[in-house]
Structure 1
Amino acid sequence: MPLGFSVMGTRTLWWGGCAWDSFAMLHLLKGEPDVLVATRCPACDIPHAWVVGRDAPPQGDQVAHCLTPMHRAWDDVVHTCGNQRLFCSTDCVDAWVHKTGQERGYVMYLGTLWRFASDWYTGRLDPGYTRRAPAAAASYFAEAGLHGSFWGLPD
């Protein structure tokens, strides 16, 4: 299901899902040296693209906005993923929030998104994979630089 992102490798193009998944895909695709992540700002429709590699976050002043707090993420995962988007700036986030009547969620810079996504799905494609328990997920969120009740962490 297209949710606003494409991820292109050397020979293959995938739907990226959300901002989180789009930045994480490289780490699941061991044969790819990097990937091109493309989307449009939901507020102003300006296109954006980044080469996402394993060694450092992509450059840019854009921000990721996650609408749904993690304790509610699995209530409607399509809604959750469909609202983890990349914006030109916090001004665009605020314009989108105002236009849609949503409450502002969590905003992070590209470097934080990259750190967060880089190891989240480790082992996901291995047989017998089990996702992190809530306490392990909270620890991972904190290590990636996330904070606050949105992620189930102290403010």
Structure 2
Amino acid sequence: MLTKEIRLYVYKQFSHLGTAPSVSQIASYFDISEDQVRDELLKLAEARHIAINDEFEILMAHPFSSIPLGFSVMGAKTLWWGGCSWDSFALPNLLIQEVVVATTCPNCNSAHAWRVNPDTPPQGEQIAHFLIPTKEMWVDVVHTCGNQRIFCNESCLETWLHRTNNQEGYVMGLSTLWALASHWYEGRLELEYQRRDPSTSLQYFREVGLSGSFWGLD
């Protein structure tokens, strides 16, 4: 039960304050030792609930992030780092509020911003590009999230791919990105949240309009 309670505490602090709690904060809140906290954070990281560094700082608790990866998300009272385009568009659905998602095109640095809410997808001609396929996303999840970006258009994406010597991953419009994000993190602010199993994840991907081997949908 302690592992679940610490997971929820991390998520609640992120949701209310936009920041991750430290090891000492968690230890103080639960009246346990810092070594116990580190053990619990390792369990959560191994279960892919959070991402931590060697100093046990919480880098990510999807869709929340404590490090800048190209997006900011502004609510009525709180400002969050958006871990990626997927996570940034997921925050208004998890928090049930309208937010402003802001970013810049990785190719030309043009600024983009959208009002994103849980009810309807935002308008825009921009495209989202995911570089790393699902089977490799957790090899280096911070790198993965840092490469789920939004570009002005296909031309900007093609120029960026050529300049960075990357192969095209998966491209989608804003409406598909919004659909993907809408219910992916549903329940993460509840104590008994459980991650989807692989088959349920694949079904979800199909339902929101994704296809191909990039998503494991051969």
TM range (shorter): over 0.9
Residue identity opposite 2:116 in structure 1: V
TM-score by length of 1: 0.96
Residue identity opposite 2:127 in structure 1: V
2:85 to 9, 15, 19: 19
The structural deviation recorded for 1:128 is: 2.3
Aligned to 2:153: 89
- Aligned-partner Cα distance in 1 for 2:90–2:158: 26
The structural deviation recorded for 1:66 is: 0.1
- Aligned-partner Cα distance in 2 for 1:95–1:141: 28
The 3-state SS of whatever aligns with 1:94 is helix
TM-score by length of 2: 0.69
1:153 counterpart = 2:206: no
1:116 to 142, 158, 180: 180
Aligned to 1:80: 144
The structure that is helix-richer by fraction is 2
- Aligned-partner Cα distance in 1 for 2:193–2:160: 37
Q: CA RMSD in A?
A: 0.7
2:116 to 52, 60, 66: 52
The 3-state SS of whatever aligns with 1:141 is helix
The structure with higher relative contact order (CA 8 Å, sep 6+) is: 1
Aligned to 2:192: 128
The structural deviation recorded for 1:63 is: 0.3
Give structure 2 stretches of 5+ with no counterpart.
1-66
Give structure 1 stretches of 5+ with no counterpart.
none
Identity %: 59
Aligned to 2:74: 8
Task: Output one character per residue of 1:3-40: Cα deviation in whole Å (capped at 9) or x when no partner.
Answer: 0000000111100110000000011113x2x0000000
Larger radius of gyration: 2
How many residues align? The count is 152
The 3-state SS of whatever aligns with 1:64 is strand
2:208 to 136, 141, 144: 144
Residue identity opposite 2:118 in structure 1: R
